[in-house]
A and B are shown apart, each in its own frame.
Chain A
């Protein structure tokens, strides 16, 4: 009897942990179809741009401001649409149980593909979601433009080619931001410039975090710094004190975190105070831009880069910043301007693909137009190289003071 009960319990445990991801997918996916334009009487043919972002859960604080940037672009591009065409943005959520989810992301783009009116996709926010989506969009020759996904291997190297396995020579994935390795390099140089020599590196074991941490590790060491150790976080954990005790024993000048606030970046910083690491600098990439939402004033002493220029400071972006405030009565988020630019690229390609002929273009037509993009956006002029990366990457560096992030400086990377 005892044996039976215990095995039943164990079976239930495994059944539950296996089940949970599957069942939860269905319960929490909030698919919000947003009509970006109050469609005029002469609606005519509707063409759509799909938007896939994490709109609930831990990433929602940045996901929603990103979504709004994209929707604003679609609204504004409406008046440039050829006669008889209406442009719509369709936004869907790729977060499941509060965390961005690759399977959900792939399911979302599949539903875009099954809708013939969707001609291009903007998104996702997270690199691991992009890894699941690119093979799908590539197979359908659907143009996909990432506002914020920064993992190198999405566009570069043999891994990127593997993602494009159906049409290896057709670039369907583009991004308006720069890459992880550039963020990692910039952060390593900044750490050195502050005189930090001993770094402890922690990552969240996800595509984005691993990449960023790898690059930081490489550059920090190459510049003469010492990497004391490298560690990874476990998923679904709220206690990082055991790990941090280990970090404290190593006495680092700086703790580098490769990952995002929602996968532990926020709690990690907060709990650093509990083990006497509160005064130690905390570095991360754009994934911890919303660190203060979790850590509050304990975010002070942290630094991060954004793979985007500071739109608030850019002269070219002022009109966008104003329009965004007027439309949503809130300040722009870290990737709002990028999402605006990404949606602008998509809409622009659709408009050019419709051309004078006036018929609904094929998805392949749109991809070809995206590749030859040359437009002015709030984040500068955008064109893509042969891998789908932007030709003029800009990074900006931020820090935290009194629980608020402040802009330090802009870094224009030379290629």
Chain B
């Protein structure tokens, strides 16, 4: 029982990261039907930005009190902003011209952008995993004998707050309405006076910023980052988005947590080498019986 709970807590923490990344996949897919394979690398980029900001602030270890709040906020918001800008640039430079091209063209371009980002990051921070300072102290509370760390609470809390915030934004603001309209019917939305380019840029900005948040959180949680992290994590997060129903915000969240938990339990029960197999086997099963994912696609449409 103790081990079950410990694995559950671990799986939820891991799932929080997947969920944050999955939100970006699902938003972009929802609005332009593109699977943005560079998204996982934007996540890694987020951890690199956060690391650079923390280094610039002179942070090398645990922080306390005001410094903790201020520095973490600067690094978190900075990483999110910079990632958002990178996301917008990627859309502008690589995807916009291909918006009306056959579906495969932007998909292949996305894979190309992914390689470009990976190689830039490899040149930037080197080929080996780099250490990330343990900025956030990690006192733990014991729940039923299982230690839950402050970092884990922060991670899951951030993921949930981000998702709720995103839902509110999409359903209660003019910009959110514009996004929903664009997702439903781009041409009609344009005819109604919605600036499509701006709306799509906004989608990339928010999605990539969320990946930046995930990058910061994973840096704090694992105290290390690596230029190639985004490949594995991105694939899992994409899986999470599909499992929950791609295009569906709540689905991405649910899928992320589910994938994290499944991965943990699979490692526990079947061994580490079977974790990926189990995750993808479950994905296939779900898609066979519920082709549009657990919660169905395109929550944008169902306002």
Question: Residues on A close to B: CB < 8 A?
Answer: 2-3, 5-10, 12-13, 16-17, 19-20, 23-24, 27-28, 56-61, 95, 97-99, 202, 205, 231-243, 245-246, 249, 261-262, 266-267, 270-271, 274, 276, 290, 293-294, 296
**In the complex, are the beta carbons of B232 and A238 less than 8 A apart?**
yes
Cβ-neighbour of B127 out of A56, A236, A246 (below 8 A):
A56
**In the complex, are the beta carbons of A245 and B6 less than 8 A apart?**
yes
Nearest A residue (CB) for B263: A242
Nearest A residue (CB) for B44: A238
Cβ-neighbour of B242 out of A2, A10, A246, A262 (below 8 A):
A10
22 contacts between A and B (CB under 8 A): A2-B296, A6-B291, A9-B242, A12-B35, A16-B37, A27-B115, A27-B119, A58-B129, A60-B126, A97-B231, A231-B271, A237-B232, A237-B272, A238-B224, A239-B263, A241-B10, A241-B13, A242-B267, A249-B3, A290-B128, A293-B128, A296-B131
**In the complex, are the beta carbons of B272 and A270 less than 8 A apart?**
no
Nearest B residue (CB) for A15: B107
A177 nearest CB across to chain B (Å): 22
Nearest A residue (CB) for B284: A10
- Distance between Cα atoms of A290 and B128 in the complex (Å): 10
B126 nearest CB across to chain A (Å): 8
Nearest B residue (CB) for A28: B119
A255 nearest CB across to chain B (Å): 13
- Distance between Cα atoms of A270 and B271 in the complex (Å): 20
- Distance between Cα atoms of A274 and B134 in the complex (Å): 12
**In the complex, are the beta carbons of B267 and A243 less than 8 A apart?**
yes
**In the complex, are the beta carbons of B275 and A237 less than 8 A apart?**
yes
- Distance between Cα atoms of A338 and B235 in the complex (Å): 39
Cβ-neighbour of B3 out of A19, A246, A270 (below 8 A):
A246
Cβ-neighbour of A266 out of B129, B267, B275 (below 8 A):
B129
**In the complex, are the beta carbons of B239 and A13 less than 8 A apart?**
yes
Interface residues of B in 129-182 (CB under 8 A from A): 129, 131, 147, 149
**In the complex, are the beta carbons of B233 and A7 less than 8 A apart?**
no
Q: Tell me whether A238 and B268 are in contact in the complex, defined as CB-CB below 8 angstroms, given that A6-B291, A57-B122 are known contacts.
A: no
The answer to whether B11 has its CB under 8 Å from any CB of chain A is yes
- Distance between Cα atoms of A106 and B270 in the complex (Å): 33
Residues of B within 8 A of A8 (CB): 103
**In the complex, are the beta carbons of B291 and A234 less than 8 A apart?**
no
Contact flags B235-253 to A (C-beta < 8 A → 1, else 0): 1001100100010000000
- Of listed A202, A233, A241, residue having the most chain B CB within 10 A: A241
Nearest A residue (CB) for B114: A20
Residues of A within 8 A of B126 (CB): 60
Residues of A within 8 A of B29 (CB): 9
- Distance between Cα atoms of A245 and B6 in the complex (Å): 7
The answer to whether B7 has its CB under 8 Å from any CB of chain A is yes
Residues of B within 8 A of A293 (CB): 128-129
**In the complex, are the beta carbons of B276 and A10 less than 8 A apart?**
no
**In the complex, are the beta carbons of A6 and B287 less than 8 A apart?**
yes
Interface residues of B in 8-57 (CB under 8 A from A): 10-11, 13-14, 29, 33, 35, 37
The answer to whether B226 has its CB under 8 Å from any CB of chain A is yes
**In the complex, are the beta carbons of A97 and B268 less than 8 A apart?**
no
Cβ-neighbour of A6 out of B3, B10, B263, B292 (below 8 A):
B292
Q: Is the interface of B mostly helix, strand, loop or mixed?
A: helix
**In the complex, are the beta carbons of A271 and B227 less than 8 A apart?**
no
- Of listed B229, B268, B271, residue having the most chain A CB within 10 A: B271
- Distance between Cα atoms of A8 and B104 in the complex (Å): 10
The answer to whether B118 has its CB under 8 Å from any CB of chain A is yes
Residues of B within 8 A of A20 (CB): 111, 231
Residues of A within 8 A of B291 (CB): 2-3, 6-7
Residues of A within 8 A of B235 (CB): 13, 17, 236
**In the complex, are the beta carbons of B119 and A242 less than 8 A apart?**
no
Residues of B within 8 A of A95 (CB): 127
Question: Residues on B close to A: CB < 8 A?
Answer: 2-3, 6-7, 10-11, 13-14, 29, 33, 35, 37, 103, 107, 111, 115, 118-119, 122, 126-129, 131, 147, 149, 218, 222-224, 226-229, 231-233, 235, 238-239, 242, 246, 263-265, 267-268, 271-276, 284, 287, 291-293, 296-297
B101 nearest CB across to chain A (Å): 15
Residues of B within 8 A of A231 (CB): 271-273
**In the complex, are the beta carbons of B296 and A12 less than 8 A apart?**
no
**In the complex, are the beta carbons of B287 and A10 less than 8 A apart?**
yes
**In the complex, are the beta carbons of A205 and B115 less than 8 A apart?**
no
Residues of A within 8 A of B246 (CB): 5-6, 9
**In the complex, are the beta carbons of A24 and B115 less than 8 A apart?**
yes
Cβ-neighbour of B7 out of A12, A28, A239, A242 (below 8 A):
A242
**In the complex, are the beta carbons of B242 and A13 less than 8 A apart?**
yes
Residues of A within 8 A of B265 (CB): 242
Cβ-neighbour of A98 out of B11, B127, B292 (below 8 A):
B127
Residues of A within 8 A of B242 (CB): 6, 9-10, 13
- Distance between Cα atoms of A245 and B287 in the complex (Å): 31
**In the complex, are the beta carbons of B297 and A234 less than 8 A apart?**
no
**In the complex, are the beta carbons of A98 and B267 less than 8 A apart?**
no
Nearest A residue (CB) for B223: A270
A129 nearest CB across to chain B (Å): 17
B246 nearest CB across to chain A (Å): 6
**In the complex, are the beta carbons of A60 and B296 less than 8 A apart?**
no
- Distance between Cα atoms of A294 and B131 in the complex (Å): 7
A238 nearest CB across to chain B (Å): 5
